[in-house]
Structure 1
Amino acid sequence: MDVGAGTLATAPPIGSVEWLRWLWGFGVVRAAVAALVVAAGVVLSKFLVRLLGRPVARRFQRQSVAQTVLGLLRVSTVMAATLIAASMVGLGIGDIVLSVTVFSAVLGIVLAPIVGSVITGLFVLADNPYEIGDMIELEDGRRGFVDDITIRYTKILTLDNTFLVVPNAQMRERDVTNFSAEDERTRLSIPLLVTYEGDIDTARSLMERAARNCEGVIEGGPDIRIGSARYPAKPTCMIGDYADSGVRLVLRFWVRTPYKIPRIESTVREHIRENLDDVDVEIAYPHQHLLFDETSGRARVAVEDGSRPTPDRDDAPATRTAEAEGVADPNGSGSTPE
């Protein structure tokens, strides 16, 4: 009777609240329930993101800010579930805060760059230098579309179909050109050096026509306003400079979208070259004319077959002197002594 009574005394009470308390006394059970709570928190965070995704997107016009808010909501939900699970296994809020503080202090130096990127990411979201979907150009010349903006990095899909992930700390220090900030219309400039002997007015009109006949170029219309200034929408060719070897012309034109700038520039250059072939306009190249006078000595000039004339004996000293002072090459050019 005593053995049976001892067995009944140690058996768990069935069908009562005491049975649940007795079962909760096992650490394995508490750990399993805590894991279920964390899993439920993850599922709940995804459900909240789907439920509040559209209202948050309507509330915030910027997609990057909306994604950041939804990300914080998901992280907060998971963290709350984790704190509840930790309290179930016997960890108090004070213990968790102390552990996190010590862990953060130990890894503070190691995580300093990441923390800096996070803080800079908040400034990037606040300053709004670019937005998801904008076409930007970095200072090294690489162009692409902003694919994602987080509080740690910016992901760029380049025009070469490759991903470029740049920490926000570096993005804030770089010079970034945004082609899609407010108005996608972009003005381009193509310089061209023509000779002084050519018809400058004809060259300017042909360059303007070459741009107008290119697809993607704005042919004309109302002036385009930038700030308080207004610029003509049609292609315009102006004289940029009177250089040493020719007149530098600058063709300025507007494109509707910045997505195919290299192709449009190449097409405009092809049209310019084709139009200039039929008129009295030549593309200049750097060249110089070297002149000899009575102060430059005597220059020896080769004959047509390339042989050098043999100087007379009487002229030998004078020829050697001329050679020392300046000698022309077989093509007729020479050098002037300094």
Structure 2
Amino acid sequence: MRLPAELDQIETTPLLTLGGAALTLGEAVSAALVLTVAIALSWLATRGLRRAREHRPGRHAQVLYLLEKLTGYGILIAGAFTALSAAGLNLSSLAVFAGAIGIGVGLGLQGVVKEFVSGLFLIFDRMVSVGDYIELEDGARGMIVEIGPRASRIRTNDNINVLVPNSQLIERPVTNWTLKGDTRRIHVPFAVAYGADRAKVREAVLQAARDIPFTLPETETRKCQVWLVGFGESGLDFELLVWPTRDAVKRPAAMHAAYTWAIAEALERAGIEIPFPQTDLRLRSVFGREGDDAAELFGLRPRGARPEADAPPAAAGRGDDNDAAAELLSPLPPEAETE
């Protein structure tokens, strides 16, 4: 019968005295159980909210992510205070430890606290949210899949996870391609040989872009356009301007490749030549002969052929074929409403 008494004595024997408060074995076990239950509840709550977020994409996913983080942190903090209470300790008895923790934060944990606070700002500010496709200052691009207490995890389209400190997403420039769930206009460059019918080029490329399934329907402010942007060494330089879907914007390399492929097929079907590097040799004076006479001397132009200067001018395109001019004449779209 002495064993229970000895056990009772062990349970009531102080293990640690802190600020006048004695911590017994029973209180330590109770505190450990409370803390274990809090950790388990936090894990279950965050896991359930994470599953719900995976089935609710879009704006609901961002709200659920915020709720997931707040719930997990809240349960852990409440469990820690409950465990301290179960251990028979109070805040006044922890004054010494509080001072030591304050010194540690000021000296060694400064960076950790900075990243944690930055993560909270990212969650509440929502200028950069989970699910957004962003581009960093160094050129790295990917979708934000997690905002953790120290760093945010960005997954590239090659399934590479890039860990970025939370403070960098606040202090450094970040390009958000899908801010507030919106899309963006992309420019796809291409070129055709000199002498091609510009109106025919525009018609063929626009039709090809509209036939692609991830091209958004056109509106007054968002139209597919073809711009003539320059005169290259081998041909005319064009750009296709198009508004793709939000999911396509998150895969820029594949998106550009898809539009480029469609443009190449459209030009081939229309019989429009794609230029290749070449060099033209012009003879100005050979043995006292110039221009066409010099060309005839080497057999480069048949005798009696009409010079290029006498050739009929090419048919001018219609005024409404110039999408760049129409862009300048159209009113600017209204500013998006802030939420």
TM range (shorter): 0.5 to 0.7
Equivalent of residue 268 in structure 2, options 253, 277, 289: 277
Aligned to 2:65: 64
Aligned to 1:87: 88
Counterparts of 1:187 and 1:70 in 2: how far apart (Å)? 38
1:236 and 1:253 in contact (8 A); partners too = yes
- Cα offsets for 1:28-55 (capped at 9, x unmatched): 691243222232243146447868987x
Alignment of 1:9-28 (within 5 A): 25-27=12-14
1:38 and 1:78 in contact (8 A); partners too = no
Counterparts of 2:197 and 2:4 in 1: how far apart (Å)? 109
Counterparts of 1:13 and 1:267 in 2: how far apart (Å)? 78
Q: Does 1:36 align with 2:30?
A: yes
Counterparts of 2:13 and 2:108 in 1: how far apart (Å)? 39
Alignment of 1:301-312 (within 5 A): none
2:34 and 2:83 in contact (8 A); partners too = no
**Residue 244 (structure 1) shift:** 5.2
2:187 and 2:242 in contact (8 A); partners too = yes
Counterparts of 1:95 and 1:27 in 2: how far apart (Å)? 15
**Residue 279 (structure 1) shift:** 4.4
Q: Does 1:134 align with 2:119?
A: no
Q: How many residues align?
A: 268
The 3 A distance-change label for structure 1 pair 251 and 51 is closer
Counterparts of 2:199 and 2:148 in 1: how far apart (Å)? 53
SS at match of 1:210: helix
Alignment of 1:1-338 (within 5 A): 25-27=12-14, 30-44=24-38, 46-47=40-41, 62-87=63-88, 93-106=91-104, 108-218=106-216, 220-223=217-220, 230-232=221-223, 235-243=224-232, 245-256=234-245, 257-258=247-248, 259-279=250-270, 281-285=272-276, 289=280
2:157 and 2:251 in contact (8 A); partners too = no
SS at match of 1:62: helix
The 3 A distance-change label for structure 1 pair 61 and 214 is closer
Counterparts of 2:138 and 2:272 in 1: how far apart (Å)? 36
Counterparts of 2:69 and 2:267 in 1: how far apart (Å)? 55
Counterparts of 1:242 and 1:121 in 2: how far apart (Å)? 49
AA matched with 1:222? T
SS at match of 2:32: helix
**Residue 80 (structure 1) shift:** 0.7
Counterparts of 2:33 and 2:198 in 1: how far apart (Å)? 76
- Cα offsets for 1:118-168 (capped at 9, x unmatched): 222232223212222333333444433322223422122332223322210
SS at match of 2:107: coil
The 3 A distance-change label for structure 1 pair 51 and 291 is closer
Counterparts of 2:82 and 2:101 in 1: how far apart (Å)? 20
TM-score by length of 2: 0.64
The 3 A distance-change label for structure 1 pair 241 and 170 is same
Counterparts of 2:207 and 2:187 in 1: how far apart (Å)? 15
- Cα offsets for 1:44-75 (capped at 9, x unmatched): 46447868987xx9x99723321232133122
AA matched with 2:265? E
- Cα offsets for 1:9-44 (capped at 9, x unmatched): xx9998xxxx99966641369124322223224314
**Residue 87 (structure 1) shift:** 3.5
Deviates more, 1:131-140 or 1:267-276: 131-140
SS at match of 2:180: coil
1:62 and 1:131 in contact (8 A); partners too = no
1:64 and 1:149 in contact (8 A); partners too = no
Aligned to 2:331: none
- Cα offsets for 1:82-108 (capped at 9, x unmatched): 4225536xxx63442322322441453
AA matched with 1:63? L
